[in-house]
Amino acid sequence: MNTKIDNLESCLVLSNGVRIPCVGFGTRQTPSGDVARDSVRKALEVGYRHIDTAAAYGNEVSVGEGLRLSGVKREDVFVTTKHWTDSRGCKQTVAAAEKSLMALGLDYLDLYLIHWPAVEKISPDWASLNADTWQGFEKLYRDGKVRAIGVSNFLPEHLEALKATAEVMPMVNQIEFHPGYMQNDVVDYCRANGMLVEAWSPLGCGRLLSDPLVEKIAAAHGKSAAQTCVRYAMQHGHLPLPKSVHAERIASNAEVFDFALTDKEMAVLDAMPETGFSGFHPKDAPAG
Ligand code: A2P
């Protein structure tokens, strides 16, 4: 299904045929203003062609500025943003997407994601809240405002419920994924249902970068711990979204095409003890 992956322009292919560059630049916790603008511009300058943001990050305006200042053509960049929990429902979702488009200064998105599922803990109607929101996503998709639609932080139970009413199934599930937090049940569900897994916090939010096991494997390849973690997600067939605001890290985190982890190294990283998660657990997803 996928073509050769040997640089930042190499693409994976979503279930609807849309091509998605194999490493994305993450902007979670990147402050709006100069920092977001300049880091996005830097990422595009060193060759990233996929930028991931969210309404809740509060940096869409600056991300849009960075896109424009980079001089890279709109059609050559894959842009994802996410719908926040305060806009659940069909109409609200369409309005939220329009607001994000306006903030980014774009007239279409490449990928739009439900940031967090509505969950049992929030409302007994969680399943219909997600279904209504998803109707908005399907409308945006049909109207050509977004080239692909998906979810983030959905567990199999949330996806299974969505399946009951969805006319178009999500093409992507963006979840936290890194050594020590692999969410195998979610990954298996996504694989079986044709959804690409995107890995947020592939560096474990920075925690893995001083892990002796990761450092040892990295040293064996003359690579950094960060590059090792990005490569690890890629070799699992996932799409990593490393985040940094530092120019040299932005560049080096993407130098992941000149080495490969061995099966044994992959197995060692797979077996790492749980290092915990970096945001909410989906069962405790934010209410909005
Ligand atoms: P900074 O933005 O200051 O570089 P994740 O992508 O897993 O969420 O990890 C992001 C965290 O890791 C951020 O705190 C980021 O800090 C840090 N980070 C990203 N790349 C590197 C790197 N190459 N070396 C050290 N820290 C990094």
Are residues 198 and 204 in contact, defined by beta-carbon separation less than 8 angstroms? no
Identify the sign of the CA torsion 84, 27, 58, 37. Answer: negative
- At residue 92, what is the residue type? Q
18: CB partners within 8 A, 6+ apart:
110, 147, 148, 171
* Structural contact between residues 37 and 69, judged by C-beta atoms closer than 8 angstroms: yes
Whether the predicted model's global pTM rises above the 0.85 cut? yes
Go through the chain and tell me how many residues it has. 288
Q: Which atom of ligand 1 is nearest to the CA of 227?
A: 23
Do residues 54 and 82 touch, judged by C-beta distance below 8 A?
yes
29: left (phi > 0), else alpha (psi -120 to 50), else beta?
left
Q: What distance in Å separates the CA atoms of residue 176 and residue 26, rounded to the nearest whole number?
A: 12
Which residue has 């093409």 as its token pair?
171
* Cα–Cα dist 16/4, whole Å: 19
Rounded to whole angstroms, the Cα distance separating 194 from 172 reads 8
Label residue 3 by pLDDT band (50, 70, 90). Answer: low
In tens, the pLDDT along 104-126 reads 999 999 999 999 999 998 899 99
Q: Please give the distance, rounded to the nearest whole angstrom, from the Cα atom of residue 205 to the centre of ligand 1.
A: 6
Q: Token pair for residue 177?
A: 């994924």
Q: Residue 211 pLDDT > 50, yes or no? A: yes
> From the CA of 206, how far away is ligand 1's center (Å)?
5
**Residue with CA closest to ligand 1 atom 9:** 205
Residue 112 annotated in active site: no
- Shortest-distance atom of ligand 1 to CA 248: 23
Q: How much is the average pLDDT of 134-151?
A: 98
Distance separating alpha carbons of residues 109 and 146, to the nearest angstrom: 5
Backbone phi, psi, residue 172, to 5°: -140, 145
Burial (Cβ within 10 Å: 0-12, 13-18, ≥19) of residue 264: exposed
Q: How many Å apart are CA 227 and CA 284, to the nearest integer?
A: 31
Q: How far apart (Å, rounded) are the C-alpha atoms in residues 217 and 80?
A: 32
Q: How confident is the model at residue 1 (pLDDT cuts 50, 70, 90)?
A: very low
Compute φ and ψ for 109, nearest 5 degrees.
-110, 150
User: Is residue 285 within 8 Å of 118, Cβ to Cβ?
Assistant: yes
Distance 244 CA to ligand 1 centre (A): 5
pLDDT in tens, 146-200: 999 999 999 999 999 999 999 999 999 999 999 999 999 999 999 999 999 999 9
Whether the CB of 226 sits within 6 Å of ligand 1? yes
- Residue 246 Cβ contacting ligand 1 at under 6 Å: yes
